[in-house]
Copies of this chain bind each other. A is one copy, B any other.
Amino acid sequence: MTDEPPGGFLTLGDLEAAGAAKSARDVWEFVQGGAGAETTLRGNRDAFYRQTLRPRVLTGVDRIDLRTTILGTPVAAPFFVAPTAYQGLLCADGELATARAAGAAGLLAVYSTLSTRSLEEVAAAAPDGLRWFQLYLQPEAGVARRLVERAERAGYRALVLTVDMPLLANRDRQLRSGLAVDTPAPIGNGADVHSPPRALTADGGRFLLRVDTAATWEVVDRLREWTRLPIVVKGVLTGEDARRAVDHGASAVIVSNHGGRQLDGAPATLDVLPEVVEAVGRDAEVYLDGGVRRGSDVLMALALGARAVGIGRPVLWALAAGGEAGVARLLSLLEVDVATVMALTGRTTVPAIDRALLGAPRW
């Protein structure tokens, strides 16, 4: 691990720099890029910069407890590994390295339909780890159903249905990088599993365009027929859709704009989180991903009502920087950072992170 700086990886910035140094350029552009002009990609970070934290002092912070539950299952900290595709592009072990590190840390990890390793291999790599399976709908319903059944059998504890990717968005940076856009690496879950379609195809008239998926909210009902696993709807940015997800039986929603990789022009996730939290009320859990890089980001999202937050690109940085050890280091750095910010804001438990923690926005 020659790119590790003296003293080891001390910050997420160290992991990012080492990951960039070790990765092929086209892979790195795939990891870092977003859709269109990357307005939404930047917006996710800006939303965290905009918020301020009102620290309370002398509250007695000798014991900081990061533990919480997610859908009732205890986890070590209020953040989890968000699903990201093709982790094998970053290091040979791919999702197996992630699974071992997350499992050892006692953290939830979510694995993509588009993993380079099969969902059974991932389960075997960390049998005791808490894992969820992220599902992309498939052109053939049978393929999707078999994925769901395999995940349930392999001990995945929830299904995360991604709803913001009826087709692959225009990702200018990735297009220019030269990496194959549709399937840049083999999909470990089987040859019949597909990535969401990239291209719109003409059908009939020139301007009548067609995508392969016709998914509506009924797919959630169908999923509930296929499995007794709780269903989490990922990629919701409005109160209306969050409410609808709950009404169709979702146990949780993830406020996500796919890390700025799908709809460029979508709002920052932190900015719409309150609307979703209010719409959902106590009927489901709400998570958030997109731009979470610091302990202070985690606290801001929790203060606005998220139960936990997902970490996406930094896991890929860590995989590239150091494989399983890199991810372990990342998760440990984040835990310490969350605990530090809790101590500095005078919160010793996760439930104590309330809206009063937030001050006036900077602008």
Contacts and interface: CB of A to CB of B under 8 A. Distances in A.
Interface of A: 5-7, 10-11, 13-14, 36-37, 39, 43, 46, 49, 51-67, 76-77, 105-106, 163-164, 166-167, 169-170, 172, 175-176, 178, 199-200, 203, 205-217, 219-220, 235-238, 240-241, 244, 262-268, 271-272, 294-296, 299-300, 335-337, 339-341, 343-345, 359-360, 362-363
Given A11-B172, A58-B216, A59-B216, A265 B53 contact: yes
Contact of A63 (B37, B209, B266, B268): B209
A52 B294 contact: no
A58 B248 CA distance: 12
B58 A205 contact: no
Q: Which of A36, A53, A215, A340 has the most CB of B within 10 A?
A: A340
Q: Which 5 A-B pairs have the closest CB atoms?
A: A62-B214, A265-B296, A76-B207, A57-B163, A52-B267
B265 A300 contact: yes
A335 to B, nearest CB: 7
Nearest to A214: B62
Contacts of A209: 63-66, 335-336, 339
Given A55-B164, A76-B207, 14 more contacts: A5-B176, A11-B175, A53-B265, A55-B266, A58-B215, A58-B217, A63-B209, A76-B206, A106-B207, A170-B336, A200-B340, A200-B343, A209-B335, A265-B296
A207 B58 CA distance: 22
Contacts of A207: 65-67, 76-77, 106, 335
Contacts of A241: 56-58
A206 to B, nearest CB: 6
A105 B202 CA distance: 13
Contacts of A205: 67
27 contacts: A10-B172, A10-B175, A13-B172, A14-B176, A37-B49, A37-B294, A52-B271, A53-B263, A53-B266, A53-B267, A55-B238, A57-B236, A58-B216, A63-B203, A64-B210, A65-B207, A66-B207, A77-B207, A166-B344, A169-B340, A199-B336, A200-B336, A200-B340, A262-B344, A263-B296, A263-B341, A264-B296
A291 to B, nearest CB: 12
A296 B36 contact: yes
Contacts of A43: 52, 362
Nearest to A363: B363
Contacts of A336: 170, 199-200, 209
A314 to B, nearest CB: 14
Given A209-B66, A294-B36, A359 B76 contact: no
Given A52-B265, A200-B340, A344-B169, A213 B62 contact: yes
Nearest to A362: B43
Residue from A57, A172, A272, A339 whose CB has the most chain B CB atoms within 10 Å: A57
